[in-house]
A = this chain, B = another copy of it.
Amino acid sequence: MKKLINQPEQVVDEMLEGIIAAHPEKLKRLPGLNVVVRKEAPIKGKVGLISGGGSGHEPAHAGFVGENMLDAAVAGEVFTSPTPDQILETIKAVDGGKGVLLIVKNYSGDVMNFDMAAEMAQAEGIEVEQVIVKDDIAVDIKEDRRGVAGTIFVHKIAGTAASEGKSLKEVAQIARKTAENICSMGVSLSPSTVPASGKPGFTLNDNEIEIGTGIHGEQGMERQSLKPADQLTEEIMNNILHEMEFSPGEEAAVITNGLGSTPLMELYIVHRKAAELLKNKQIQLKKSLVGEYMTSLEMAGCSITILKLDDQLKSYLN
């Protein structure tokens, strides 16, 4: 394991220190907790927005704390959901009197920990709503789908809605609508290594790739041999578009997301093909995000996320 770290037990703490050292004018850390909060929080009259999950997905989630985005992010250990006590303190720290929305990715650990925190906060009289993101179509059963890079769209759209002063009910409703209109799928070319374990999460042969791998290295749909980027992109896009109903002329936003060690050059090559395929189907590409948004440490590969837009979602995305 060749990593720029000190002690594996310290990676999350030291990373958060680094984030604060980089942006002391915008961010603060809740004392003693693995939580990054906007410096202005709590903001009166604005719904508080919290996301979080295991670490190792940077820039998710602390990287999305800021104006028109999140008020706070809770960081668990690497690939491990954060605990309810940390989430509860975060809720308290961002509640400006208008309630708090929790943006949760659909993993049993995240769901349970955020649930417990929401119950505790509600018991203390804070209004809390949750939106569960389930965008990874590599999992068959809809209810069991994992939350992956599409979560970024929920951060952004709910963030703008909250900034406009919308109520908790309204922000939650927009966030849920966003989540329901997102499909994602990834492909992995090489595994990542959790610092504490020191061993790669899975193994792939020299010429092997895995379609549908999750962002913690969860099993995907199938192993294949390496193929040209265009072919791979087409396969992923077909899977996604098969799940979504698009009529000619409708609009979409796309994230071509790097999983950690795939060069931006390759992401643009993939994005080029994705854009071409949308065009062929007369789907209008209104917004593109190409880069690392939801990573899996140094995993190689990428994911494609499509958000189907309507006028409301589009206006909040920009």
What separation, in Å, do the CA atoms of A266 and B301 have in the docked complex?
A: 19
A18 to B275, CA, bound (A): 8
| Contact present for B285 and A21 (CB under 8 Å) | yes
Tell me how many residues of A have a C-beta within 8 Å of chain B: 58
- Name the interface residues of A225-278: CB closer than 8 Å to any CB of B: 226, 228-230, 232, 256, 260-272, 275-276
**Cβ-defined contact, A18 with B270, below 8 A:** yes
From B18, B262, B297, A4 is in contact (CB under 8 Å) with: B262
Complex interface residues of chain A between 16 and 43 (CB less than 8 A to chain B): 16-19, 21-23
State the main secondary structure of chain A at its contact with B: mixed
Chain B nearest Cβ from A154, distance in angstroms? 20
Give Cα distance in the complex from A128 to B292, angstroms: 36
- Do the beta carbons of B297 and A206 come within 8 Å of each other? no
List B contacts of A55 (CB < 8 A).
265
Nearest-neighbor residue (CB-CB) of A20 within chain B: B272
* In the bound complex, CA of A55 to CA of B265 (Å): 8
Asked if A15 and B268 make an inter-chain contact with CB atoms under 8 angstroms apart, the answer reads yes
Measured CB to CB, the closest approach of chain B to A53, in angstroms, equals 14
Chain B CB count within 10 A is highest, among A6, A19, A288, for A6
B262 and A18 form a contact (CB under 8 A): no
Q: Which residues of B contact A102 (CB under 8 A)?
A: none
Name the contact of A59 in the complex, choosing from B16, B207, B264, B297 (C-beta under 8 A): B264
A190 near B288 with CB under 8 A, answer no
Task: Name 16 interchain pairs, CB-CB below 8 A, sorted by A.
Answer: A2-B226, A4-B269, A5-B229, A5-B269, A6-B228, A11-B265, A14-B272, A15-B269, A18-B270, A18-B290, A23-B288, A55-B265, A58-B268, A263-B297, A264-B295, A292-B292
For the complex of A and B, the 7 pairs showing the least CB-CB separation, nearest first, are A18-B268, A261-B261, A18-B272, A22-B288, A21-B275, A58-B264, A4-B266
